[in-house]
Amino acid sequence: MPSYRTEDIRNIALVGHTGCGKTTLTEALLAATDTIGEAGTVERGSTITDHDKLEQRHGHSLDSAIASFDFEGIHVNIIDTPGFPDFRGPTLASMTAVETSAVVINASAGIELSTRRLMRRAKRRRLCRMIIINRIDAPEIDLETLVREIRDEFGPECLPINLPADGGTTVRDCFFETDGDTDIFSLSAAHDEIIDQVVEMDDELMMKYLEGEPLERGELHDAAERALRRGHLVPICFTSATSSAGIPELLKLCKRLVPNPTEGNPPAYQRGGGSDGEPAECKPDPAAHALAHVFKITNDPFVGKMCVFRVHQGTITPDSMLFIDDDRKAFKVNHLFRLQGGKHEEVDAGIPGDICAVAKHDEIHYDAVLHDSHDEDGYRMRPLDFPQPMYGLAVTSSQRGQEQKLSTALHKLTEEDPCFTVEHHQELNETVMRGLGELHLRVMLERMAETYNVDVDTRPPRIAYRETITRPAEGHYRHKKQTGGAGQFGEVFLRVRPRGRGEGFEFINKVVGGSIPTSLIPAVEKGIRQILDEGAIAGFPLQDLEVEVYDGKHHPVDSKEVAFVTAARHALLDAIEHAGPQILEPIVSVDVTVPDAVMGDVTGNLASRRARINGTESLRGGLMTIKADVPLSELSDYHTELKSLSQGAGSFTMELSHYDPVPGNVQQRMVSI
């Protein structure tokens, strides 16, 4: 068993925009606790968490990594996450494994695009949040203004819990202390403000405070923990990871105020799959049956498949027999590991709050729930809402005979990243890999070449257009075929109606009187679904329509399944021809960040791509973010053109927003092809 208890564990995810110093901060914490002899640097490629060769080459985190340390009786698990928006998947997945999300802000850059998104995500996930302002000793920074901007952006519950002093070389506590000078706010004023916020969570404590009685540290901890859990307090602290200023204060904050697994909001488990699963109670009790959630998968050429999970309930040992989700076949753990960056060491048990890993169990997948309950319904975790990957590349093997190696490599990459998907379009014989941006897919191609020795040729994929209808209509077709032997006969009458965008397809059987035998209704639906997949006017899948079969005819000898499949296909095509068929194109929401000097050129370029500009936002450092909805088909070369317009300083992110009809002239051209 570990030397610590669940109450001694602190689980923290370091999240934030790229370049804010999360990896360097992790190194500073590990060095300050003597976990490592000397802090590594990103520039030298010597950090614990950026252990992958690709990360060292790019100089940025490309995947989440776990490190841990002990400090004055507590055990802290730190998850260092990527800052690039293209690698948002591992960052969001890490939020299921922690009680606290620490959003790191670069004091020089201020509140950046990812900062806003990650604060919203952490709040939606009901995580305790804290803000770490890093690089406080950088030249020409205005920390007082930055704190005010943070409070304006994220709410008055964001309050400094310590303050920089002596030009950013030291940090003074303002939660438990009131004496001393700082570089920005008054220490006593900051102390009063944060205590006022905390005591609101406890009526007795508030009365004691108002009457001037001294408050014990334990009393403040309990009230602060409740304030953190309910989002009533978001503490702001200050550090310089390179000089270690503020690192001792951050460690003390982890011990005194950061919630342990018994204090954070419980994870949202449910018994059984689907949306109708019943909520399942989960308590950090080491004696209860085991519940653990897999939040990370890695495939190592030497170790094999490594599945990283957070234990939420019970105790897991190498002898444990665990089930996966609702599967009734158990597996034996055999070897249980704790990770330290790219290294792993065997442990004899994982208690609630621990982050552990098992290797060489291929049946375990991302988001799996591991448990030792014999409940036949199994368990699921409430799924995360990941951004949908829209940036695509069609890939083919560069060498004949490597198709299986390519398939294996793509499968392993999709296991590791929930925002990386692979589609195979049978009708085009096209394999498309999709990610969150150009960098995302470029890194995946590098991984395929270096890890799996697979080289591929790439080209732009076909855009995922859809077809739908705009008005009700009826269709009819009689299929009659006589070949000298047994013939084929089937006749189908049907109606189609449009449904709301995103409501999908519905099949309704209104046949009465046996005009179509009940045994042949599935054949009718089969023919209809074939057209849904193949498209009716331009070869794109049909969506958002209702098909009602209300009449038909059959022959006692010649009516068979193939006849009604054919009749239903042609009847649906006949109906759609009169139902105002329409091609829909995917519209993506883009956030384009550029220097304000080129905003006019970039906005004009977006307008030429049929973009609808939704607004702009000023950022620190002379940057602007342009928010727009743009047809995905107009963005195939946008990465290159944006770099040209902004002299390499521009970047953009995109997420699927909705589908809209294509312009009439575009539809005519697509139908005629």
The structure tokens listed for 62 are 């490309």
- Tokens 């158990």, residue? 330
pLDDT in tens, 555-582: 988 889 999 999 999 999 999 999 999 9
Between 272 and 120, the higher pLDDT residue: 120
Flag whether 321 is in a domain.
Answer: yes
Residue 488 and residue 454 in one domain: no
Compute CA 155 distance to the chain's CA centroid, rounded to the nearest angstrom. Answer: 24
Residue 138 and residue 275 in one domain: no
- At residue 427, the pLDDT reads 56
pLDDT in tens, 511-553: 988 899 999 999 999 999 999 988 999 888 899 999 999 999 9
User: Are the CB atoms for 158 and 171 separated by under 8 Å?
Assistant: no
The structure tokens listed for 307 are 């599945």
End position of a domain, from candidates 534, 552, 580: 580
- What CATH number did the domain enclosing 528 receive? 3.30.230.10
- At residue 275, the pLDDT reads 56
Cα-based distances in Å from 329 to 325, 335, 355, 374, 531:
10, 18, 24, 10, 39
pLDDT band for 279, please (50, 70, 90 cuts).
confident
Report the pLDDT averaged over residues 365-384. Answer: 83
Cα-based distances in Å from 556 to 24, 459, 516, 517, 549:
78, 53, 11, 10, 20
Instruction: Residue 394: count other Cβ atoms within 10 Å of its Cβ.
Output: 18
Residue 594 and residue 534 in one domain: no
Residue 271 amino acid letter: R
Q: Which residues pair with 624 in a beta bridge?
A: 594, 618
Non-local (6+) Cβ contacts of 592 within 8 A are: 602, 606, 625, 626, 628, 642, 650, 651, 652
Share of the chain above pLDDT 70, in %: 97
Flag whether 261 is in a domain.
Answer: no
The backbone torsions φ and ψ at residue 590, rounded to the nearest 5 degrees and listed phi first, read: -115, 145
- At residue 399, the pLDDT reads 86
User: Are the CB atoms for 25 and 14 separated by under 8 Å?
Assistant: yes
- What CATH number did the domain enclosing 20 receive? 3.40.50.300
Residue 551 and residue 523 in one domain: yes
Flag whether 449 is in a domain.
Answer: yes
Residue 29 and residue 130 in one domain: yes
- What CATH number did the domain enclosing 639 receive? 3.30.70.240
| Domain of residue 452, residue span | 391-462
- What CATH number did the domain enclosing 435 receive? 3.30.70.870
Residue 297 and residue 358 in one domain: yes
Report the pLDDT averaged over residues 582-597. Answer: 91
Residue 94 and residue 168 in one domain: yes
Residue among 224, 60, 232, 245 nearest 143 (CA): 245
Residue 638 and residue 668 in one domain: yes
Q: How far, in Å, CA of 66 to CA of 48, rounded?
A: 9
End position of a domain, from candidates 580, 614, 644: 580
Flag whether 367 is in a domain.
Answer: no
Residue 74 and residue 57 in one domain: yes
Flag whether 568 is in a domain.
Answer: yes
Residue 224 and residue 116 in one domain: yes
Residue 529 and residue 643 in one domain: no
pLDDT in tens, 470-516: 999 999 999 998 776 678 999 999 999 999 988 889 999 999 888 99
When divided into structural domains, the chain yields a total of 5
- At residue 493, the pLDDT reads 97
Q: Mean pLDDT, the chain, as a whole number?
A: 90
Residue 285 and residue 318 in one domain: yes
HEC sequence for 231-300: CCCEEEEECECCCCECHHHHHHHHHHCCCCCCCCCCCCEEECCCCCCEEECCCCCCCCCCEEEEEEEEEE
Flag whether 435 is in a domain.
Answer: yes
- What CATH number did the domain enclosing 343 receive? 2.40.30.10
Q: In what order do the strands lie in the sheet with 545-553?
A: 473-481, 488-498, 545-553, 505-509
- At residue 274, the pLDDT reads 56
- Least confident stretch, 399-408, 424-433, 469-478, 484-493: 424-433
pLDDT band for 394, please (50, 70, 90 cuts).
very high
Report the pLDDT averaged over residues 35-42. Answer: 93
Which of 11-15, 263-267, 663-667, 668-672 has the highest mean predicted lDDT (pLDDT)?
A: 11-15
Flag whether 369 is in a domain.
Answer: no
pTM surpassing 0.75?
A: yes
End position of a domain, from candidates 352, 380, 408: 380
